[in-house]
Amino acid sequence: MNARVLQNFALPLALLAICAFFAAREPAFLGARNLTQLVGEFSITGTLALGMFLILLTGQIDLSAGSGVGLVGGVAAVLVFQQGWPAPLALGAAFAVAVALWTLMGALIVRERIPSFIITLGGLLIFKGLFWLVIQNSTVPVSRGDEENLYAKLTTYYLPAPTGIGLAAAVLLGLTVATWRARVARIAHGLAVPPASRAITRWSAVAAVTLGLVIVFNQFRGVPLSLLVLAATAGAVWFVTQHTPFGRALYAIGGNEEAAHLSGLAVERTLIAAYALMGVAVALTGFMQTAYQGSSTTTVGDLMELDAIAACVIGGTALRGGRGTVGGVIFGALIMTALLNGMTLLAVSPEAKFIARGVVLTLAVWMDVRLRRR
């Protein structure tokens, strides 16, 4: 039991240890300004990691996500700031390009039986080359002076303080209703339910963290819009994976693809759909990452696919598929973001950051292999 409890709390404890270390080295780490910035970075990494989660669940992989982030963000930036397209139209066009490209990759992987490693590695190179062609190896600024600029607002807009508090209250109310309905349903079906005290304690902890963060955000500028994008993405992915036949098929394919075939599941269609949804995540991440950096330049998206994979594996997603949760991915993304944010705050050299990311990714894969052996 103690080992199980320790495993359940491993991620929160790791996150607390990282935050405590950086806070001790630099008190500004826990300041309102830095926490708001950290949440913006976390929203970007987390959104891409949630898309990667859907791919990894099936036992596949996507090495092209980082290059796709740069390409999609660059297409939208060029259309808006060089071609004069309205931002909604440009974002919609870039979004459609991303979904089409990832659907095509999924179809090639499934129908031509080409390993996803090869196809997405080719996509990494192709998308990087197309990205540089689109921006012509230059920098396309994402203007932040235009108040009507929807593109820039993705990472520069913050909810007014009263709206943030109201949204937090609505989230907690929704959580209360969902928890109560789940408890009633389990009782109605004669299933065991945890003690009410445990549910109350969990709700109290979530309420304290949620309201505390909103208060901290309001001390700077407010709740970032990018956090709402992540929350909506996480909610959608959680619902799809936990409450739809498609989600159950993702787990089944990752657990045993041959058995999934024999069970009558539409394996090919499911895999293609998973890659199409990855295209959605790449598009959202591309828009936010480009807006966050303030320009579309040749380095946008570099190595982001590795951060996304590391976030998933840290959170308990198996590289061979069939295991993982949305909550674990969120914690994994938060750990990765806190680590990178803290190193930036301490002015750690770029080469040390690369080493740290490599060590974290290696340790995450090692943990996945160890868990598989048990």
Which phi and psi angles does 129 have, rounded to 5°?
-65, -45
Residues 142 and 3: their CA atoms lie apart, in Å, by: 49
Which residues, in sequence order, are CB contacts of 150 under 8 Å at separation 6+?
87, 88, 91
Instruction: Note whether 33 and 222 are within 8 A (CB).
Output: no
**Rounded to an integer, what distance in angstroms lies between the CA atom of residue 103 and that of residue 100?**
5
pLDDT in tens, the chain (374 residues): 444 555 567 788 888 888 999 999 999 998 989 999 999 999 999 999 999 999 999 999 999 999 999 999 999 999 998 898 998 999 999 999 999 999 999 999 999 999 999 999 999 999 999 999 999 999 999 876 554 477 888 888 899 999 999 999 998 898 888 888 888 888 888 777 778 788 788 888 888 888 988 999 999 889 999 999 999 999 999 999 998 999 999 999 998 888 988 888 899 999 999 999 999 999 999 999 999 998 999 999 998 999 999 999 988 898 888 899 999 999 999 999 999 999 999 988 888 888 988 888 888 777 767 766 66
C-alpha R_g of the chain: 21
State the Cα–Cα distance between residues 304 and 309, nearest whole angstrom: 9
Short-list 78, 47, 79, CA closest to 288? 47
CA 157 to centroid of chain Cα atoms: 20
Residues 6+ apart with CB under 8 A from 245: none
Query: Please, what is the angle between helix 32-57 and helix 304-314, to 10°?
Result: 80
Which of 263, 277, 203 has the alpha carbon at shortest distance from 48? 277
Environment class of residue 21 by beta-carbon count within 10 Å: exposed (0-12), middle (13-18) or buried (19+)?
A: middle
CA dihedral sign, ordered 297, 130, 47, 363 = negative
Ramachandran angles phi, psi of 62, nearest 5°: -135, 110
DSSP, residue by residue, 311-323: HHHHTT--TTSS-
How far, in Å, CA of 16 to CA of 37, rounded?
Answer: 18
**CA atoms of 313 and 334, how far apart (whole Å):** 13
Domains of the chain: 2-157+224-373 (1.10.3470), 158-223 (no CATH)
DSSP state of 83: S
CA atoms within 13 A on the CB side of 44: 29
Contact 322, 251 (CB under 8 A): yes
